[in-house]
Amino acid sequence: MIWDLWQDTVHSPFMNMAFDEALMIEASQRGRPLLRLYEWDRDAISFGYIQKVEKVPKDQGRFVRRPTGGGIVFHKHHFTYTVVVPNEHWLVADLKPIDSYNWVNRAVQKALQKVALSTDLANQEISKSVDRAGMVCFTTPTKYDILLDDRKVSGSAQRRAKEAMLHQGSIEMEGLESLSTEALREALPAGFQEIFDCEFADFQTTEKLELDAKKISEEKYSTDAWNLKR
């Protein structure tokens, strides 16, 4: 099976979210899964779609509401990836969301193994006592998050829309000498290849995708109407 691989570069918080949404919208047209690897142009905070903005530390130009769920993520020493899968693919069509988390996070776990990190997948759901409206992602493990000596080092959130499944993930690099952006850019595709038995084709962005993402960023992710909506 062929997947697309986009070794993307550095963007603003708003453009990072906008590119993910634009890729999701075009997923059925591409017809195959895509793995995007990318970075942020500033220290930033992203937070889940259903979270309360009053619970999020705010710094103008540095925080953005994601299209997916999950908790508050401080993007300072993180590397981020996105998986976009058409709804016709077995990962979406044949699996419940929690099971697709298992598959994707096992691929990330395999990637971390390739950079000498032996990790475990969390096996417990978030406690009902946790305030999801203000929870911090990396202090609140949930099922299939990736743990290193009981410390959460990778978390993710997912959205299933009419166009595709959007899965956004983040890997904590602080204090882990074997992790670097260069190492993860090499290891993550290798981990996905091994778990999904796939090969990657280099993804080439188009003028249409660039323009669509710019419009989505300007009209949605960089606006108060989106970021302050709850």
pLDDT of residue 150: 86
Report the predicted TM-score, pTM, of the whole model to 2 decimal places: 0.93
* DSSP 8-state assignment for residue 126: P
Q: Is 137 a catalytic residue?
A: yes
Catalytic residue among 137, 164, 183, 188: 137
When pLDDT is cut at 50, 70 and 90, the band that residue 137 belongs to is: low
* Residue 1 CB contacts under 8 Å (≥ 6 apart), including other chains: 32, 196, 197, 198, 199
pLDDT of residue 61: 62
pLDDT of residue 105: 97
As a whole number, mean pLDDT of residues 145-149 equals: 93
pLDDT in tens, 200-227: 999 999 999 999 999 999 999 999 999 9
pLDDT over threshold 90, residue 147: yes
pLDDT of residue 142: 83
pLDDT of residue 55: 83
pLDDT of residue 29: 94
pLDDT over threshold 60, residue 98: yes
Q: Using CA atoms, how far apart are residues 18 and 213, in angstroms rounded to an integer?
A: 5
When pLDDT is cut at 50, 70 and 90, the band that residue 124 belongs to is: confident
* DSSP 8-state assignment for residue 125: P
How many Cβ atoms are within 10 Å of 9's Cβ, its own excluded? 9
When pLDDT is cut at 50, 70 and 90, the band that residue 125 belongs to is: low
Torsion angle (degrees, nearest 10) of CA 217, 65, 105, 125: -160
When pLDDT is cut at 50, 70 and 90, the band that residue 126 belongs to is: low
Average pLDDT, the chain: 91
